[in-house]
Amino acid sequence: MVAPGTTPHRDLRDLLKLPRSPIASYLQKQVTRGPRRQKAQADKPWRFPLIQAFTPDRLWNFAYEYLRNRFGPRHALATYSGDQFDTGIYPLVGDEGGIRIAICGDWGTGTDEAYQVAQRMKESDPHYTIHLGDIYYVGDDVEVKSNFLGVRDDNTGYSPCQWPCGSKGAFALLGNHEMYARGNAYFELMLPTLGLKDEGKRGQKASFFCLENECWRIVALDTGYDSLGWPIFEYFFPPKCGLTVEQLSWIKNVLKLGDDGRGVILLSHHQYYSRFDDWYPTAARQISEFLSRPVLWFWGHEHRMAIYEEFGADGGVRAFGRCVGHGGMPVELPPAEPLHPDCPLEFVDVRPYENTEYLKLGLNGFVRINVKGPRFAAEYVDLRGSIAFTESWEIKEGHLTRVVRS
Ligand SMILES: [Fe+2]
């Protein structure tokens, strides 16, 4: 809901059915240039004017932006190599009530719904916030500023959205959409604004990191850097979305990820598996070199909220998957026929979202986590503040046990 006298945020409709393709994302970006003047009506929903992308001026702009951003090397991968002050392993600390963490994915849309999710995250007074990646449409400088950093883009007239920072810090993973502009804005504009607050504002140095205490290790993996190939060739040889050599070296030699008895929570942009969508099991197979016990794994990329039972692909680490890619994009309701019926789903949020655009969608939201000693509690909160699913886990000598589910 937009307060009277303020400019609105972007409409969900503008991002509806956005293809996971760089060229289509650049094209769809050209369609809408500012807030609509008329409200949608139940009997007269807005039509999506994709044809507008093909007017001469927009087609020219599309070609200019696509060629300028897509051709050239990816931004250099930032690492912790040679930095004696920053290893990418940070302390997980809170207060007497526990450690509060707010996580969501695919939030960087600039929509009214993203704004509301950010408000709910702020209300939870988090110590840490973590974005699982994707700034739309293509994660370039202007979009990172308006859809993540809260800087108004005068060319569109939309109100900007700012990622809520926790009292201890904020972090962001790298999604495929940031890579559609070769990761330049992610590394150059976003990371310097993130990181721990009490570390002299050094920024988040790399796209992978770990937050840890004596009971838990929250390990954020970068599956986005390997999500982009060369234009045209990427359609014939799709990237694997695996972990880079540099990241694997950090996991092995610096993080020393292993079976040390602490609970392991993995975060990534891409889903390991899904009942409804594509699988990206490469990172899970790489991680299986270090871990032989099940983990909790939160991911985005897929725009819904889903809870899975323990599952794993051949050769991959076993994981209790949690899809929380419902931060800001239009939330897809599950199809009647799942793509992978063997994938053991425990819960998926199918509650309808009554919206002013008259779209048949699900509810946006985030996961609110509280870590206290060996207990790890998660509440899946929607943009209205209602809780869709609650669970609590305990770690004992490396063994994860769920003690609460509702
Ligand atoms: Fe994505």
Q: How far is the CA of 72 from the centre of ligand 1 (A)?
A: 21
Worst-scoring range by mean pLDDT, 110-114, 153-157, 205-209, 212-216?
153-157
Q: How far is the CA of 286 from the centre of ligand 1 (A)?
A: 20
pLDDT digits (tens, 9 = 90+) for 262-301: 999 999 999 999 999 999 999 999 999 999 999 999 999 9
State mean pLDDT over 113-119: 98
3-state helix, strand, coil in the chain (%, to 5): 20, 25, 55
If phi over 0 gives left and psi between -120 and 50 gives alpha, with beta otherwise, what is residue 150? left
**How far, in whole angstroms, is CA 261 from its chain's centroid?**
28
State mean pLDDT over 164-183: 97
Is the per-residue pLDDT at 6 higher than 80?
Answer: no
Are 103 and 130 in contact by the 8 Å Cβ rule? The answer is yes
Q: Quick check: pTM over 0.85? A: yes
Instruction: Give dist(CA 176, CA 133) in Å, integer.
Output: 8
Q: How far is the CA of 288 from the centre of ligand 1 (A)?
A: 23
Strands ordered across the beta sheet of 365-372: 195-196, 169-172, 128-131, 99-104, 365-372, 375-382, 387-396, 399-405
Task: Write out the two tokens for 249.
Answer: 């070296």
pLDDT digits (tens, 9 = 90+) for 212-227: 999 999 999 999 999 9
What single DSSP character describes residue 188?
I
Q: How far is the CA of 399 from the centre of ligand 1 (A)?
A: 31
Percent of the chain with pLDDT over 70: 93
Q: What is the pLDDT of residue 49?
A: 63
Q: What backbone torsions phi and psi does residue 91 show, to the nearest 5 degrees?
A: -70, 140
What single DSSP character describes residue 312?
-
pLDDT digits (tens, 9 = 90+) for 350-397: 999 999 888 999 999 999 999 999 999 999 999 999 999 999 999 998
DSSP-based three-state secondary structure for 320: strand
Instruction: Give dist(CA 172, CA 195) in Å, integer.
Output: 9
pLDDT digits (tens, 9 = 90+) for 291-349: 999 999 999 999 999 999 999 999 999 999 999 999 999 998 999 899 999 999 999 99
Instruction: Give dist(CA 268, CA 264) in Å, integer.
Output: 13
State mean pLDDT over 160-183: 97
pLDDT digits (tens, 9 = 90+) for 35-72: 776 677 766 666 656 666 677 778 888 888 888 888 88
Please give all residues whose CB falls under 5 A of ion ligand 1, grouped by chain where several chains appear: 134, 175-176, 301
**Does 141 or 202 have the greater pLDDT score?**
141
pLDDT digits (tens, 9 = 90+) for 262-273: 999 999 999 999
Q: How far is the CA of 20 from the centre of ligand 1 (A)?
A: 7
Q: How far apart are the first and last CA of the chain?
A: 30
Q: How far is the CA of 256 from the centre of ligand 1 (A)?
A: 28
Are 323 and 364 in contact by the 8 Å Cβ rule? The answer is no
What's the whole-number average pLDDT of the chain? 92
* Cβ count within 10 A of residue 71: 10
Nearest to 255 by CA among 220, 222, 205: 220
Q: How far is the CA of 53 from the centre of ligand 1 (A)?
A: 22
Sorted by sequence, the CB contacts under 8 Å of residue 337 that are 6+ apart come out as none
Peptide bond into 128 cis (omega under 30): no
Nearest to 179 by CA among 209, 219, 134: 134
Q: Measuring CA to CA, how many Å separate 314 from each of 280, 286, 317, 340, 404?
A: 12, 12, 9, 15, 29
Percent of the chain with pLDDT over 90: 73
Most confident of 28-37, 84-93, 106-115: 106-115
DSSP-based three-state secondary structure for 269: coil
Is the per-residue pLDDT at 210 higher than 50?
Answer: yes
State mean pLDDT over 218-241: 90
Q: How far is the CA of 396 from the centre of ligand 1 (A)?
A: 34
Q: What is the pLDDT of residue 50?
A: 66
Based on its alpha-carbon atoms, the radius of gyration of the chain, rounded to whole angstroms, reads 20
> Which H/E stretch holds residue 146?
helix 141-147
Are 270 and 231 in contact by the 8 Å Cβ rule? The answer is no
Q: What is the pLDDT of residue 2?
A: 47
Q: How far is the CA of 195 from the centre of ligand 1 (A)?
A: 22
Q: How far is the CA of 250 from the centre of ligand 1 (A)?
A: 24
Q: Please report the beta strands in 121-268, taking only residues with DSSP state E, as ranges in sequence order.
A: 128-131, 169-172, 195-196, 209-212, 216-220, 263-268
Is the per-residue pLDDT at 199 higher than 70?
Answer: no
Q: How far is the CA of 166 from the centre of ligand 1 (A)?
A: 23
User: What residues pair up with 305 in beta bridges, in sequence order?
Assistant: 324
Q: How far is the CA of 207 from the centre of ligand 1 (A)?
A: 15
The total number of residues shown for the chain amounts to 406
Are 228 and 180 in contact by the 8 Å Cβ rule? The answer is yes
Are 28 and 60 in contact by the 8 Å Cβ rule? The answer is no
Q: How far is the CA of 86 from the centre of ligand 1 (A)?
A: 28
Is the per-residue pLDDT at 73 higher than 80?
Answer: yes
Query: What is the Cβ-side half-sphere exposure of residue 221, based on CA atoms within 13 angstroms?
Result: 32
Q: What is the pLDDT of residue 37?
A: 67
